[in-house]
Structure 1
Amino acid sequence: MDGGQPVSSFGELLKVRRERAGLTQQSLADYATLSVRAVRDMETGRVRRPRHETVRLLADALRIEGRIRSEFEAAARQQEFAQEPVAPPAARNAIVARETETEALFDALTVHGDRLVSVVGLGGVGKTRLALEVAWRVHDTARWSVRWMPCGDRELVGAGSAFADVVRAPASSGRFDGLAELIHDRPTLLVLDGADGGVHPAMLDELFHRCSGLRVLVTSRSPQGLDGEQVIPLAPLEMPEPGLEADVRALGAIGSVRLLVSHMRKLRPGFTLGPDEAPVIAALCRHLDGLPRALEFAAGWTSVQSPAQLMARLSASPFALSAPPVTSCERGDVRESLSGALLMLTPRQRALLVRMSDEEGCWSVEEAVSASGWSPRECLEAVHELFSRGLIRVAAGAGQGGVRFDVLNLFRLVCREERDRWRAGPAARFPALATAALAG
């Protein structure tokens, strides 16, 4: 009770006390030295467990004392759960240049209430790191529990994880009794990381039905194709446009440059992006398509090669880039990620990718229709798939004439290599793609 007026939550009580004091959310935030978003999130219930220090600052700003203050602080404590929410795994490195994507994904789960969200993109584009960043944010800010399932780790999946059946064979009725009791209606984020083998609809339907507070975040190289799935394509980082290297300050604000320079500074303390190295840094970012893992590999080699030497090596053989011997990043090479993405395409999708990789500059869907000879609907569907999977990107500076696309530079090289093999002899690796590409 608040002066005879019943309230059902701390957020509602906060709003009542704020309005009674004649304050806006912004003015209360200013007096309490908090952000207006923090005040709004508490009032709307997005933040279910404000910190004690935050509650004290609010009480001071509202100038409430005595019994009313005690009731105000008690209302905040009543929203605490009996047990601490489960935390996600610890991040091993900082996330760079993904502020917009982090905000969009966080809002999809907490504001828009999407229950099934898939982050889709190339291997090495940073899906896992983005999911981890959002998982920590919902844990710290909204006080959700986070259950993390590394689907690509067969040892962990086979070790008896409570969530393993979500990515394996369908379960019989009642299979999730213990799991549903564990989650119940508590706000929980289940992360299925690397679910390239697919997620079973029956599993998710049962969990969603029995766990009202459950949200599921999937990372994979292709959409799951499930009802209610919100797909968020994750593209490589923004690349510097040609000529931008003349403005070092503007160049340093570009996402791919920020990431590359941040990794280089770990190996070359004191490194500063200046006019002398700006052109080659910009060229590296463009050559590697702003792909985070490729940029991390490249930065790892700058301890023994200058950026100019590295660029010369990659110009001669772009797929010679692999993880350096001493590194914190995943092993492998750039070609491995690209080949895996190609193998997941249908022959028709691969054929269109090969054909459009020959186009100089950017192109529109209408131009793809003309080049392929397909119907507009067939071509639009294939372009949509290629974009969702991160093999093509929206071209920078597209005008009012409509959306235009670019094939990623690295995929242009792969497609040209494969096309040359087909013309030289039997296409042993991608026979369907060879037939479609050469017949089209």
Structure 2
Amino acid sequence: MSIATATDEDVPLFGRLVRQHRVRIRLTQRELADFSTISVRAIRDLEQGRARRPRQDTVRLIADALRLGPRARADLEAAATEGRTGWAVKAGYEAGPAAPPLATDLQVGREAETAVLYGELATGAERLVTVIGIDGVGRTRLALEVATRLHTTGGTPVLWCTLAEPAGGDRLAALVRAAAEQLLHPGPATDDIAALVETIADRPPLLVLDGVPATADPGRLVTLLRDVPGLRVMTTADRPLGLPGERTFLLNPLTVDETDPAGSPAVQLFLNRARRVRPDLDPDPADLDLMAGICRRLDGVPGALHAAASWLIVYDLATLHRCLHDDPATLLNHLTSPDAGAGLREALERRLAGLPAADRDLFEALCRRGDSFDLTDVTTLTGWSLPDSGRAVRALLLHGLIRPAYRAGQAWFRILHTARAAQLCAASIRG
């Protein structure tokens, strides 16, 4: 009888060693159980890999029953240590629901979006959600708000992994990061994914992968969702992941209400950020009108509003308003404020450069034409059929370069001022 089996590679080293030593001295599982005072089921589960984290007293009893010498006992204890490390991670995870990071700023004007995503994930109606939108629109902040609400209202464990930041944290965070790298990049699978599955299987969490890169190959996420039935995954990314069952959530910029500019989410957010620079700021109606104009010019993109507000350390409101309306290059220059930690100009340029040629040509033509359009304008401009025009407009929407609106029951679209400025600047450089 051969000691090796077809499934040996799936069994941890400890289980393989126990079986090898037992067979070597011609003991049955029942006999080893009698000598060690451990149940037959426990012996079987260890040898078959169903139990992977033996306790210290279990290791001692088995080593005594197998009559191992000093070296063999040390090897068995070393193999068990790996299992106990995993057991400690699982025990820590199950001791209390893991929490998302603490928010460092206030979320403004996203109650509807938060409620929709919270409802879908809380009920399990959606298990894989990808939040997309233009850079600076607040994808991470929305994901954090949804994750926090799930954690605080339902006790859902939240495993949060920011992919753009260096790995760090405790052993659970390190495991999540290592598994995330394996989930999103091609190559041989490692034990990290298996260890994550075993850790979370009894208490499925919300797994948040923040900042999935365009180069990711996330096919293993589908397998992970299959292996852990109660798991929910939320990602933030530049574009949809293209996976079966994925729910793509397009996050649009904040709005400026024409009838009540001062009460608009975009203006409220801008005022909040402005007071970080000018705590004494007490806007009168004329100031609020200027703020509304600034917010419209910046399309209500939170990252752009943060960057612009940081310039109030130098400008007054009227000067900032004038600078942002002077010309496209000046507008973009004010989105690279180091104080705001934003590089939206570079992000916009990368996004435009990444467009397929046909979509880039269409966007350039639309920018030359004006700042709003409908599907009829696209068919007239290109000569394409209505379905082809709809496909192209959808691509621009998913790239975050335009935003939808509805007027008298008819859909139309507005080009973001920031995206149009980036396109016009790029065209002038090429010209």
TM-score, normalised via structure 2 length: 0.72
**Equivalent residue, structure 2, for 1:188:** 205
**Equivalent residue, structure 2, for 1:393:** 403
Pick one of 293, 317, 325 that aligns with 2:303. 293
Amino acid at match of 1:296: H
Pick one of 396, 413, 418 that aligns with 2:426. 418
1:84 matched to 2:92:
no
Partner SS state of residue 394, structure 1: strand
Amino acid at match of 1:150: T
**Equivalent residue, structure 1, for 2:156:** 144
Tell me: CA distance 1:273–1:108, structure 2 relative to 1, closer, same or farther (3 Å). farther
Amino acid at match of 2:237: S
Is the Cα contact below 8 Å between 1:188 and 1:215 reproduced in 2?
Answer: yes
CA distance in 1: counterparts of 2:331 and 2:94, whole angstroms: 55
Cα displacement (A) at 1:284? 0.5
Q: Unmatched 5+ residue regions in structure 1? A: 1-80, 245-249, 425-440
Q: Unmatched 5+ residue regions in structure 2? A: 1-92
Tell me: CA distance 1:170–1:108, structure 2 relative to 1, closer, same or farther (3 Å). farther
Please identify the structure whose Cα radius of gyration is greater: 2
Is the Cα contact below 8 Å between 2:332 and 2:345 reproduced in 1?
Answer: yes
Is the Cα contact below 8 Å between 2:371 and 2:414 reproduced in 1?
Answer: yes
Amino acid at match of 2:317: P
CA distance in 2: counterparts of 1:176 and 1:389, whole angstroms: 31
**Equivalent residue, structure 1, for 2:74:** none
Cα displacement (A) at 1:111? 2.6
CA distance in 1: counterparts of 2:219 and 2:131, whole angstroms: 21
Tell me: CA distance 1:184–1:417, structure 2 relative to 1, closer, same or farther (3 Å). same
1:341 matched to 2:351:
yes
CA distance in 2: counterparts of 1:360 and 1:295, whole angstroms: 23
**Equivalent residue, structure 2, for 1:94:** 106
Cα displacement (A) at 1:171? 4.2
Cα displacement (A) at 1:148? 1.1
Tell me: CA distance 1:332–1:270, structure 2 relative to 1, closer, same or farther (3 Å). closer
- Structure in which a larger fraction of residues adopt helix: 2
What CA deviation, in whole Å up to 9, does each residue of 1:131-181 have, x standing for no partner?
111111111111111111112235569996332211222443866221111
Amino acid at match of 1:239: V
Pick one of 415, 419, 425 that aligns with 1:407. 415
**Equivalent residue, structure 2, for 1:284:** 294
Cα displacement (A) at 1:198? 4.9
Amino acid at match of 1:147: L
CA distance in 2: counterparts of 1:270 and 1:196, whole angstroms: 41
Pick one of 229, 232, 235 that aligns with 1:218. 235
Pick one of 235, 245, 263 that aligns with 1:228. 245
1:304 matched to 2:314:
yes
Amino acid at match of 1:131: A
CA distance in 2: counterparts of 1:361 and 1:121, whole angstroms: 19
Correspondence 1:268-279 to 2 at 5 A = 268-279=278-289
Partner SS state of residue 162, structure 1: helix
Amino acid at match of 2:140: T
Amino acid at match of 1:356: L
Tell me: CA distance 1:104–1:171, structure 2 relative to 1, closer, same or farther (3 Å). farther
Tell me: CA distance 1:324–1:363, structure 2 relative to 1, closer, same or farther (3 Å). closer
Cα displacement (A) at 1:310? 1.2
Tell me: CA distance 1:361–1:82, structure 2 relative to 1, closer, same or farther (3 Å). closer
CA distance in 1: counterparts of 2:123 and 2:194, whole angstroms: 29
CA distance in 2: counterparts of 1:229 and 1:282, whole angstroms: 36
Is the Cα contact below 8 Å between 1:119 and 1:127 reproduced in 2?
Answer: yes
CA distance in 1: counterparts of 2:214 and 2:377, whole angstroms: 34
What CA deviation, in whole Å up to 9, does each residue of 1:64-88 have, x standing for no partner?
xxxxxxxxxxxxxxxxx95201111
CA distance in 2: counterparts of 1:98 and 1:275, whole angstroms: 25
Partner SS state of residue 194, structure 1: strand
Correspondence 1:36-435 to 2 at 5 A = 83-153=95-165, 161-172=178-189, 176-241=193-258, 244=259, 250-316=260-326, 317-322=330-335, 324-325=337-338, 327=339, 329=340, 331-395=341-405, 398-400=407-409, 402-422=410-430, 424=431
Is the Cα contact below 8 Å between 1:300 and 1:323 reproduced in 2?
Answer: no
CA distance in 2: counterparts of 1:252 and 1:187, whole angstroms: 43
TM-score, normalised via structure 1 length: 0.70
CA distance in 1: counterparts of 2:135 and 2:212, whole angstroms: 12
Is the Cα contact below 8 Å between 1:321 and 1:333 reproduced in 2?
Answer: no
Partner SS state of residue 152, structure 1: coil
CA distance in 2: counterparts of 1:322 and 1:384, whole angstroms: 26
CA distance in 2: counterparts of 1:364 and 1:307, whole angstroms: 34
What CA deviation, in whole Å up to 9, does each residue of 1:221-252 have, x standing for no partner?
111111110000011111343xx4xxxxx212
Tell me: CA distance 1:278–1:211, structure 2 relative to 1, closer, same or farther (3 Å). same
CA distance in 2: counterparts of 1:210 and 1:313, whole angstroms: 54
Tell me: CA distance 1:355–1:187, structure 2 relative to 1, closer, same or farther (3 Å). same
CA distance in 1: counterparts of 2:112 and 2:342, whole angstroms: 28
Amino acid at match of 1:98: R
Partner SS state of residue 95, structure 2: coil
CA distance in 2: counterparts of 1:421 and 1:324, whole angstroms: 22
Cα displacement (A) at 1:421? 3.4
CA distance in 2: counterparts of 1:195 and 1:206, whole angstroms: 17
Tell me: CA distance 1:182–1:155, structure 2 relative to 1, closer, same or farther (3 Å). closer
Partner SS state of residue 313, structure 2: coil
Aligned length: 331
Identical aligned residues as a percent: 32
Partner SS state of residue 425, structure 2: helix
